[in-house]
Amino acid sequence: MTNNNPFLNAQKQLKGAIEILNNPLYTSKLEVISNPKRILEISIPVKMDNWEIKVFTGFRSQHNDARGPFKGGIRFHPDVTRDEVKALSVWMSFKCSVVDIPLWGWKGWVIVDPKVLSITELERLSRWYVRELYKYIGPEVDVPAPDVNTTPQIMAWMMDEYSKLVWVYSPWSFTGKPLTSGGSKWRGRSTAQWWAYVLQKYLELIWDELNWKSFIVQWAWNAWLTFAEILTDLWAKLIWISDSKWWIYNKKWLNLKEIISLKNDRKSVVDYSDGEKVSNEKILELACDILVPAALENQIVAENANNITAKLILELANWPVVPEADTILFSKNIAVIPDILANSWWVMVSYFEQVQNNTNFYWDEEEVDSKLKTKIQKATVDVFNKAKEHKVPLRTGAYVISAKRILDAMNDRYENI
């Protein structure tokens, strides 16, 4: 049976990459790089609107800082395991490394359903999170960013609280902020545009293009809809799309503008006028050129990998394909563009935001997009060539590149671990 523990899967992928590198200096540090440097667990007291004091639990896993400050998102979500937080911090290190920026992974989490909090309770929680952690974060140490259920507004509150605590206005202490608080232009559009750049570059490398390719997107919301819109503008055909309730299908094409209108009106895709409604069972196994798992983890596992018929998989969710499934798909010549490459867009834009904050000089949208495109296209070429060199899946190629960069920095800085 498939092991769905994300932290063990991350360690397994890392071990495989280091074995390919086959260097005693790297192998000797496997245990060090396989575990977070520091895991913090904090209690966050918040005065609720009814004057009750409620204590929330927060985590912060700081994986590796060999090449620069820690970097990663803060999630506000009721469901979390310690291993999940650890795994996300490891993956963040590799996302930073594969696109070659001087930041390294961490992940923060508060166990809370933010939907049940008032705006004032949410602000108190955000500020108290910083109060409990500010000695362990900062522009030279650890730079937080938004993640699931955290917003630019929350980042602005956190940046403001940190600035008060250190007595210096510090826009560079948090990223993902509103433009009025030192945020970067193009951040919203950059998500979907990054995914499109990755996909286009990969297809170019295999002498192919998007024209009339059919694709399936496993989540009809926000950036995923924008991504689908970019692909349809490039003459790809959206034939399946889902939300949390149902999938809809039209073998010719789906009218994306109508779907976007439905979601803006808070309706389900089942209200679409010209599509077949189907349940979520077996949906990932349907025929298409490009499959985009963009919702949940552990979607393609050993038990269903043999049934996948897509020609290419683009991972926009975190770890939707487990290691055992990777092996099966590779044997079937189904390429998987891995999450650590495809989903590294936001850390790149966060890095751009830090650079702009540090110089106090802000770029226009065209400059951000140009730099973004340059970085992701180079990273995609690097991963493609490394995978081809070692005759391994793209994910393994990405891990080989990332692991070597991290381990080289560790060897240069602290040889005698």
Residues marked active site are found at 107
- Starting at the earlier edge strand, list the strands of the sheet with 335-337: 276-278, 247-249, 237-242, 214-217, 290-292, 312-314, 335-337
Whole-angstrom distance, CA of residue 16 vs CA of residue 301: 18
The amino acid at 78: P
Q: DSSP E strands: which ranges in 124-226?
A: 142-146, 214-217
DSSP 172: G
Whole-angstrom distance, CA of residue 148 vs CA of residue 358: 26
Q: What is the DSSP string of 254-276?
A: --HHHHHHHHHTT--GGG-TT-E
Whole-angstrom distance, CA of residue 112 vs CA of residue 110: 6
Whole-angstrom distance, CA of residue 347 vs CA of residue 99: 9
- Report the DSSP beta bridge partners of residue 56: 44
Q: Give the rounded distance of the alpha carbon of 148 from its chain centre.
A: 10
Q: DSSP E strands: which ranges in 129-242?
A: 142-146, 214-217, 237-242
Cβ neighbours around 374 below 10 Å, total: 11
Strands 312-314 and 70-77: unpaired
Whole-number CA gyration radius for the chain: 21
Spatial contact of 165 and 136, defined as CB atoms under 8 Å apart: no
Q: What is the 3-state secondary structure (H, E, C) of 77-130?
A: ECCCCHHHHHHHHHHHHHHHHHCCCCCEEEEEEEECCHHHCCHHHHHHHHHHHH
Strands 70-77 and 104-111: parallel
The amino acid at 198: V
